[in-house]
Amino acid sequence: MKLRTYFLLSFACLIIVVIVSMSVVISQRTSHEVREEIGGSLAALAYQMSDKLDYYMWSRYNEILLLSHLKALRFPSDLEEVRGLLRELNKNIPSFSWVGLSDPDGNILASTGGILVGSSIAGRPVYKEALEKPFIGDVHDAVLLSELLPNPTGEPLKFVDISTPLFDDNGKLTGVLAAHLSWEWTKEIKFSVLKSLQGDSKNAIEVFILSAIDDTVLLGPDSWAGKKLVLEGAGQYSGTNEWTVQQWPDGRSYLTGFAQGAGYNNYPGMGWKIIVRQPAEVAFAPIHSLVKDIVLLGVVLTLLFSVLAWLFAGNISKPLSRIAEAADRLRRGDKTEIPQARGIKDIEVLSSSLRGLIAELTATESELVKMEDQAHRDKLTGLLNRSSLEASVTRAIKHAEEKNGALAFLYMDLDGFKGVNDSLGHDAGDELLRQAATRIRDCMKAQDYAFRMGGDEFVAVLSVPLQGALLEANDAANRILENLRVPFELEAGIAKVSCSIGGAMWPHNGTDPQLLLKLADQALYASKSKGKNKLTFAITEHAS
């Protein structure tokens, strides 16, 4: 074999090894990260849908509660005024298909459109369940109203009941304010959630809303309406914001995201399960395209450098040997780089090209890591965001278990922040949030985690010794309180706020992070009720 041919073959093999090694490593890592990102996006979509449903129901629930305090409804002496109020509610919020006021015996005195006036609803849950406290009923078919309300679609009418008792000043029942909320509003929410998606793939995304009682499909594709949806092996995901690749009854594999409503503020929630699915081949198409591009790039570069090897392989045996050795180290996973050849111009160009290739591939990987980090940080404050909470808490718990330590979960809310926004403007409010985040982080150790949950809410996860854990957590929380009481020097002026904190301890109050966050949140509300600028720790003991 001629020397030139020998060098050509050797050099071609070297390039293939380098490119294939780097391509395999990068494609595997990037594929995993992109897969996690795509799955997380679908789970976030399910959570967003669940959150919007709870928020919408909270709004309608409180509108009914607000009306129940009006004197005109509690003491309905002027029924024309009552009808005017109900008409305005229906006009401004069409989702209220029917709203009616009954006397204490369940006879309708006034209603939207005059429907059922003079009729009795005493036998209906919307009346019977609301004689002592507000009532929210799950989705059901229309009974009394099926023939009385307009139905342009011809589909069976479905409602959610909201009702509340009305009392006089002595606590005596004067009537019941009952409302039927049309189920059609959920389709509007689904449309608004999916509208933000980009690309053709959004057309392949389907949303299901399931009853918390028996997994009946309340909203979904027409072929699933009213049926029970049970996914084998998916029970562990139904109550969390998770995703998985799931085989469905039609035999196809779908990327499936899960979430479950947990209520909002004083609205207790119906526990509706949200499932969002997308065909796996559609969801993961970007990954297949990425791998294909990497392979194509490897083929092109292999051909390019093979031509260069044929042109400049006359006198390169020694530099080529060094390059081959470096490539072998790269293949083994050692941290090294292609050596820079000196003395032979052709080899200098070749070695520089290889160095550039490795640098570009490495830079691509670094950029992906940087993008992933940015996606898990709050843009305003630079703290970790809500989406990174679960992974960060998992790492904190693992570290605490290794060190035989404990963790303090602190849920924080700024007192008086709305006043800063109102008086100094939202730019000043943003500046205050950035400074507050810095002050909170200054009170923590390097191994602690700080998150901005949204608005003026923050969460801190502190590593503390197992012995005296509560005392040390209390000291850290008080440092935060003291730090945040110091006036903030903003461009728009001086602003003063304080902070209310609720805390829970791992493993003292439990080992489930979601439970601990809930306990900390409840303790936060306890701090607020004490007059704000307070610190409260959960005292309920939970089995670990």
Report the alpha-carbon distance of residue 102 to residue 68 in Å, rounded.
Answer: 12
* C-alpha torsion sign, points 497, 499, 387, 243: negative
Which tens digits make up the pLDDT trace of 91-103?
998 888 899 999 9
Please give the structure tokens belonging to residue 319: 């530099």
Please give the structure tokens belonging to residue 194: 């999916």
Pick the closest to residue 287 from 324, 245, 258 (CA basis).
245
Report the alpha-carbon distance of residue 261 to residue 40 in Å, rounded.
Answer: 18
Active-site residue (options: 161, 378, 456, 521): 456
Q: What is the CATH architecture assignment of 96-183?
A: 2-Layer Sandwich (3.30)
Question: Which pLDDT value is given to residue 369?
Answer: 44
Report the alpha-carbon distance of residue 232 to residue 221 in Å, rounded.
Answer: 20
Report the alpha-carbon distance of residue 101 to residue 66 in Å, rounded.
Answer: 14
CB count in 10 Å sphere of residue 219? 22
CB of 78 closer than 8 Å to CB of 84:
no
CA 531 to each of CA 36, 195, 455, 467, 525: distance values in angstroms, whole numbers, following the listed order:
43, 42, 20, 31, 10
Pick the closest to residue 452 from 377, 518, 514 (CA basis).
377
With 0.85 as the threshold, say if the pTM is over it.
no
Helices (H) and strands (E) in the chain, counts: 14, 17
End-to-end CA distance of the chain: 72
Buried residues in 169-193 as b, exposed as e (16+ CB within 10 A): eeeeeebbbbbbbbbbbbeebbeeb
Number of residues that make up the chain: 544
Domain boundaries, the chain: 3-33+287-375, 96-183, 192-279, 386-537
Pick the closest to residue 39 from 452, 393, 449, 387 (CA basis).
387
DSSP-assigned states of every residue in 385-441: -GGGHHHHHHHHHHHHHHHTEEEEEEEEEEETHHHHHHHH-HHHHHHHHHHHHHHHH
Annotation marks residue 293 as catalytic? no
DSSP, collapsed to helix, strand or coil, labels residue 356 as: helix
Which residue matches tokens 């590593």? Answer: 463
List of the chain residues with pLDDT < 50: 154, 368-369, 541-544
* C-alpha torsion sign, points 51, 54, 57, 63: negative
Which tens digits make up the pLDDT trace of 428-479?
999 999 999 999 999 999 899 999 998 999 999 999 999 989 999 999 999 9
Domains 96-183 and 192-279 share a fold: yes
**H or E, element range at 318:** helix 317-331
Backbone angles phi, psi at 33, to 5 degrees: -65, -45
DSSP state of 236: G
Q: Which residues are registered as beta bridge partners of 178?
A: 100, 163
CB of 68 closer than 8 Å to CB of 116:
no
Which residue type occupies 310?
A: W
Tell me which CATH code domain 386-537 carries. 3.30.70.270
CA 228 to each of CA 212, 216, 269, 278, 540: distance values in angstroms, whole numbers, following the listed order:
11, 4, 21, 19, 38
Tell me which CATH code domain 192-279 carries. 3.30.450.20
Phi and psi based region of residue 199 (left: phi greater than 0; alpha: psi -120 to 50; beta: remaining): left
